[in-house]
């Protein structure tokens, strides 16, 4: 399979640097007039797949909102990922998995394995057992042409207590950026965007500069939550990402999803947000 980074760059160029969410939490189910049940989640997800197909560069289902309904909810998630594949739309499964050894290998097979019914094009992962603990997922992503998005600088207020912490060799976040940079070195040598991305919040302020992080050298797609509902502005995005701005994939869930349940309205909101982001990231 063509590497995820190559496919992602093409989708961002064609459709704009927007990642839209499928987040069927209870408040949105209520707002859409759907029941707080598996049936409600199924209807919600199917509407999103129909609306986003062909207009969103990437779609990011949040696994937790499906998992909370048990096996039936996971089945809906699997159907949702299959629907995105059939539509030719890239998916990032937001599951934030992180563990060691055979457990991490099992997570990797579950979400990145070629034979898995729950496979996505990319998976969010947590590196806070050490970047090396991600090795099974890194290796499988390379083998299958899929990607990872590694938590680096998150937008939650508790994040800095861990991510900004200093080690003998620099900050914790710096060690993650260094790991991603090494993982993407071969793609960089080929002139391609790497397949190992990072999650860097658009609301992290001066953290990238304060921690002396070189996001551009990492050659990584940068999944950036925080725009819109969380308060980040276009100027915030430019200040946070600087020269790495062309690699930013902005994540928006609530602002787009509040346009539902109309398929037409969701598509229009997606197109509007993608166009606005294209203008921001192009300078």
Domain limits, the chain:
4-281
Kindly state the percentage of the chain with pLDDT values over 90. Answer: 89
Mean pLDDT of 233-261: 91
CATH class of 4-281: alpha beta
Out of 36, 96, 238, 254, pick the active-site residue.
96
> Cα separations (Å) of 258 from 34, 91, 268, 270?
14, 20, 12, 11
- pLDDT at residue number 283: 61
Kindly state the percentage of the chain with pLDDT values over 70. Answer: 98
- pLDDT at residue number 281: 81
State yes or no: is 60 an active-site residue.
Answer: no
- pLDDT at residue number 229: 60
Mean pLDDT of 255-262: 95
Q: What is the residue-averaged pLDDT of the chain?
A: 95
60: which 2 tokens? 């990011």
> Which pLDDT tens digit goes with each residue over 109-125?
999 999 999 999 999 99
- pLDDT at residue number 209: 94
- pLDDT at residue number 216: 97
Asked if pLDDT for residue 12 goes beyond 90, the answer is yes
Mean pLDDT of 234-246: 89
Mean pLDDT of 63-75: 98
- pLDDT at residue number 36: 98
Asked if pLDDT for residue 102 goes beyond 90, the answer is yes
- pLDDT at residue number 279: 87
């Amino acid at each position: 399979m063509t590497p995820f980074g190559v496919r992602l760059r093409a989708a961002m160029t064609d459709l704009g640097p927007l990642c839209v969410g499928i987040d069927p939490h209870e408040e949105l189910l209520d707002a859409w007039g759907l029941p707080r049940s598996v049936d409600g989640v199924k209807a919600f997800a199917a509407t999103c797949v129909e609306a986003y197909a062909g207009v969103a560069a990437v779609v990011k289902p949040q696994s937790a909102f499906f998992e909370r309904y048990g096996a039936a909810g996971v089945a809906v998630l699997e159907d949702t990922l299959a629907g995105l594949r059939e539509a030719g739309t890239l998916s990032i499964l937001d599951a934030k998995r992180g563990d060691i050894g055979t457990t991490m290998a099992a997570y990797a097979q579950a979400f990145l394995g070629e034979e898995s019914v729950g496979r996505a094009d990319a998976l969010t992962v947590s590196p806070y057992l050490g970047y090396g603990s991600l090795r099974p997922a890194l290796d499988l992503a390379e083998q299958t042409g899929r990607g990872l998005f590694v938590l680096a600088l998150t937008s939650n207020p508790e994040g800095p207590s861990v991510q900004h912490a200093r080690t003998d060799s620099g900050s914790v976040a710096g060690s993650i950026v260094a790991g991603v940079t090494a993982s993407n070195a071969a793609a960089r040598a080929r002139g391609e965007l790497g397949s190992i991305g990072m999650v860097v919040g658009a609301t992290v302020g001066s953290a990238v500069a304060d921690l002396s992080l070189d996001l551009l050298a990492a050659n990584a797609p940068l999944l950036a939550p925080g725009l819109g509902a969380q308060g980040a502005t276009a100027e915030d995005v430019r200040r946070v990402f600087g020269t790495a701005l062309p690699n930013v994939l902005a994540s928006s869930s609530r602002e787009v999803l509040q346009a539902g349940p109309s398929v037409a309205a969701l598509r229009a909101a997606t197109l509007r947000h993608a166009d606005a982001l294209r203008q921001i990231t192009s300078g």
